[in-house]
A and B are shown apart, each in its own frame.
Chain A
Amino acid sequence: MGELRLMKGNEAIAEAAIRAGCDGYFGYPITPQSEVMEYLMAEKPHERTGMVVLQAESEVASINMLYGGAGTGKKVMTSSSSPGISLMQEGISYMAGAELPAVVVNVVRGGPGLGTIQPSQADYFQAVKGGGHGDYKMIVYAPASVQEMSDHVKLAFDKAFQYRTPVMILSDGAIGQMMEKVELFDPIPRRTDEEVIAACPWASTGRPKTRNHNIITSLDLDPAGQEKVNLKLQEKYRMMEQNEVMYEEIMTGDAEYLFVAFGLSARICQKATDIARAKGIKVGLFRPITLFPFPTVQIAATGSRVKGILVVEMNAGQMIEDVRLSLGCKVKIEHFGRFGGIIPSPDEVVKALEQKIIGG
C-alpha cells in the first residue's frame, strides 16, 4: 500500500506531479487553485527531483512555456481556473496541432467572465468540444475525489506521451479545496536528458550530426499537407475513443432510473441515490470519468434499460447533449443543474428526479 495522507485536492495534484516525474510546472495564481503552485514552491521539487517550478507573468506565458518544454520532450504541467484556462486556449490549440504532450489542470469556477470563485462545471463544452480554434480534441479526465486528483495526474502524463497530445484534468473548486485521504503512488524518477532524447526522437533537443533537424510547429501552408495533419489527428482521436474510455456505474444493475453525472455532481448523486433508494426509488448512477472520449456506447447500453435519466451538472446543461447523442430519443432525458457557484444538495437532486423524470 502506498503512503497515506490527508490532503487538499490541489495539493494532491502538486504532489502527484512531483511523483509522476514531472520536469516542469509553469503557472499563474488564480483562485481556487493557487495551492498547486504554493505546495510545489514549499516542497522545493528542484531539490527533491530536480523539477523546475516557475511562476509565469500570465496564463498566456504559462501555456507557451508548456509548449516550449513539451516541444523538447520534457514532462510539463500547468494548472489554472476557468478565466485563466480561457487565456490558454490558443496555446492548447497550438499544442494539439504540433502534437505535444502536456497536462493542463482546470479547477473550474463559475463564469462567465470573472464570474465567481465558487465551484462549477460550466467549462465542460470548452474542455470537451475543443475550446481553442481548429479541429482538435484532448483527453479529458473528470476526477470526483482527491484520490482521483492524484491518480489522474499520473494517468494524464502517460496518455499525453502515448498519444502526443495535451490532456486536461477537469476538476472544480470543491474538489480542489476539500481534504480527503489519499493513497499516494510511489515516485517515478524523472527521466534523464539522454532518456528524453531516446524516448522522444521527434523532440527539438539539439540536432546531433546523425539526424536531420527537428521542427516543432503546427503550421503547414500547403492545404494538402494541413489536411494530412488533420486526418492524422482525427485518427488519433478515434484511437482514444476505442481505447481510453473510463466510467463508473453504481447500483445500475436493477435500476429503473439513472443519474448521469461527472466529478463533484457524481459525488452528490451518489448520496442522492442512497436517499432515493431509501424511499423505494430504484435509481443508479453512471459516472463518465473520461469526458472525451465520452462513454457513448456504455451509456447507451445502461441508459436503454431504464425508464428515465436525469443528467445532473453544475451548469445550465452541457454534458446532457452528449448523453442525448448517445441515446437518441429512446428514453426520457432531463437536466438538473445549479450554476454560478451553487452546489446542489442531494435532496434537491432527488426532488428533481421525482418531478422531472418519475412524475413528469
Chain B
Amino acid sequence: MIMEELFAKPDIRKPENIVYRKSDLMVDRPLSYCPGCGHGTVHRMLMEVIEEMDIAEQTIGVSPVGCSVLAYDFLNIDMLGAAHGRAPALATAIKRLWPHRFVFTYQGDGDLAAIGTAETIHACNRGENITIIFINNGIYGMTGGQMAPTTLPGMRSSTSPYGRDVELMGHPIKMTELIAHLPGVNFVTRQSVHTPVNARRTKKAIRKAFDIQKAKQGLSFIEVVSNCNSGWKMTPVQSNKWMEENMFPFYPLGDIKVDGKLVEKKENE
C-alpha cells in the first residue's frame, strides 16, 4: 500500500501512530543550510526537547555569526543574534537578569573557539547556569571554507589549500576538553547527528543539559561534531564517512564530564 492511501485512513492518523513529525517549534520555512548539513538535525533535536519540556515560553536563545547566523529564523522561540563570538556574554546577562528563563547559545567552531574564546571560557568558568551548544565541523562554512581553529592537521581548506601545516598554522584546539576542566561546568559531552542513533544521543544530551539548567546546577557544554559537505567538497555521504574516519579519532564522541566530575577513561581506550 502506498503512503497516500495509508494516510487517507483516519484510524492510522492517531497520535500514537505518528513516528515522525516536524516539531511545532520549527518555523515552517526552508532551512538555509546546505543539503546534508547537520545543523538542521541539531535544530530539530533542540526544539523537540524544548517542546517536550513545554518551556518555549520560558526559553531565550542566542544565535552566533556563521552558518547558523539565521537560526532565529527557524526556531520559533525568542532569540537574539549576537556579534561574532559574543553569544556567551549575551547569555550571561540574560540568565542573570531572567534567572527563571532557560537560556542557550548555539555556536560554530570559528565563533566559539576562535574569536569568542575569552567569552566562552569565562562564561564557563563563572559557571553561568546556561547551555552552550557547539557545532564543530572544522571549517568556516559561511565565509567559504576557510581554516577553523578546529581544522584537523593536514586538512585542506581555502586558507590551508595544501593542508593544515601545524608548524605554520598552529594546532587544532580541543575546546571541549579544555572547558571540562573548569570548575563551574557541570556537564560536558561530545556527540554527533550523522546517524539516527547519534541524533537521539544528542537529543538526550540536550535534555540533560536543560534539566541541569532547571535544577540550577551550572553550565552544560554540548559539542556536536558535524560535517560540512560543501566546505569539505564532498557528497553528504562521503562527508559523513570522512567525519567518522578522521574527525572522530581526533574528537572522540562521548561524555567528558558528568555531574561536575570528569569521566575516567577506560584502559586501552
Measured CB to CB, the residues of A under 8 A from B are 23-24, 26, 52, 54, 56-58, 60-62, 64-69, 71-72, 74, 76, 90-91, 94, 98, 193, 204-209, 212-219
- Inter-chain contacts of B72 with A (CB < 8 A): 213, 215, 217
How many angstroms from the CA of A193 to the CA of B96 in the assembled complex? Answer: 13
Please list the 4 inter-chain residue pairs (A to B) with the smallest Cβ-Cβ separation, ordered nearest first. A68-B90, A217-B81, A204-B78, A64-B89
B27, B58, B59, B83: residue with the most chain A Cβ atoms closer than 10 Å: B83
How many angstroms from the CA of A293 to the CA of B94 in the assembled complex? Answer: 31
- List 16 extra interface pairs beyond A64-B119, A65-B92, A76-B93, CB under 8 A: A54-B96, A57-B119, A64-B89, A64-B90, A67-B82, A69-B97, A204-B78, A206-B56, A206-B59, A206-B60, A207-B56, A207-B77, A208-B57, A209-B57, A213-B79, A214-B79
- Can you list 9 pairs linking A and B with CB atoms under 8 Å apart? A24-B93, A24-B96, A91-B86, A205-B78, A213-B76, A213-B79, A214-B78, A217-B72, A219-B70
- Inter-chain contacts of A217 with B (CB < 8 A): 72, 80-81
Q: Are B80 and A71 in contact (CB under 8 A)?
A: yes
Q: Are A69 and B79 in contact (CB under 8 A)?
A: no
Q: Are A65 and B59 in contact (CB under 8 A)?
A: no
- Inter-chain contacts of A24 with B (CB < 8 A): 93, 96-97
How many angstroms from the CA of A60 to the CA of B84 in the assembled complex? Answer: 11
Name which residue of chain B comes closest to A212, CB basis. Answer: B76
- Inter-chain contacts of B57 with A (CB < 8 A): 206-209
Name which residue of chain B comes closest to A70, CB basis. Answer: B93
Total residue contacts A-B, CB cutoff 8 A? 125
Q: Are B97 and A216 in contact (CB under 8 A)?
A: no
Within the complex, the shortest CB–CB distance from B4 to chain A, in Å, comes to 32
Within the complex, the shortest CB–CB distance from B86 to chain A, in Å, comes to 4
- Inter-chain contacts of B91 with A (CB < 8 A): 68
Name which residue of chain A comes closest to B82, CB basis. Answer: A64
Query: Is B135 an interface residue when CB atoms closer than 8 A count as contact?
Result: no
Within the complex, the shortest CB–CB distance from A116 to chain B, in Å, comes to 26
Q: Are A68 and B81 in contact (CB under 8 A)?
A: no
Given A68-B91, A69-B94, A219-B69, answer yes or no on A61-B118 (Cβ-Cβ < 8 Å).
Answer: yes
- Inter-chain contacts of B62 with A (CB < 8 A): 68
B56, B76, B82: residue with the most chain A Cβ atoms closer than 10 Å: B82
Q: Are A66 and B93 in contact (CB under 8 A)?
A: yes
Q: Are A52 and B78 in contact (CB under 8 A)?
A: no
Q: Are B81 and A69 in contact (CB under 8 A)?
A: no
Query: Is B101 an interface residue when CB atoms closer than 8 A count as contact?
Result: yes
How many angstroms from the CA of A218 to the CA of B72 in the assembled complex? Answer: 12
Given A67-B82, A67-B86, A215-B72, answer yes or no on A205-B98 (Cβ-Cβ < 8 Å).
Answer: yes
How many angstroms from the CA of A206 to the CA of B59 in the assembled complex? Answer: 5
Contact of B90 among A58, A67, A74, A207 (CB under 8 A): A67
Within the complex, the shortest CB–CB distance from A46 to chain B, in Å, comes to 10
Contact of B98 among A61, A64, A72 (CB under 8 A): A72
How many angstroms from the CA of A76 to the CA of B83 in the assembled complex? Answer: 18
How many angstroms from the CA of A58 to the CA of B56 in the assembled complex? Answer: 32
Query: Is B122 an interface residue when CB atoms closer than 8 A count as contact?
Result: yes
B78, B86, B90, B96: residue with the most chain A Cβ atoms closer than 10 Å: B78
- Inter-chain contacts of B59 with A (CB < 8 A): 206
Q: Are B80 and A216 in contact (CB under 8 A)?
A: yes
How many angstroms from the CA of A64 to the CA of B27 in the assembled complex? Answer: 27
How many angstroms from the CA of A94 to the CA of B90 in the assembled complex? Answer: 12
Within the complex, the shortest CB–CB distance from B249 to chain A, in Å, comes to 33
How many angstroms from the CA of A214 to the CA of B81 in the assembled complex? Answer: 11
- Inter-chain contacts of A62 with B (CB < 8 A): 89
How many angstroms from the CA of A68 to the CA of B119 in the assembled complex? Answer: 13
Name which residue of chain B comes closest to A203, CB basis. Answer: B78
Q: Are B83 and A57 in contact (CB under 8 A)?
A: no
Q: Are A60 and B60 in contact (CB under 8 A)?
A: no
- Inter-chain contacts of B73 with A (CB < 8 A): 215
Contact of A67 among B78, B83, B98, B122 (CB under 8 A): B83
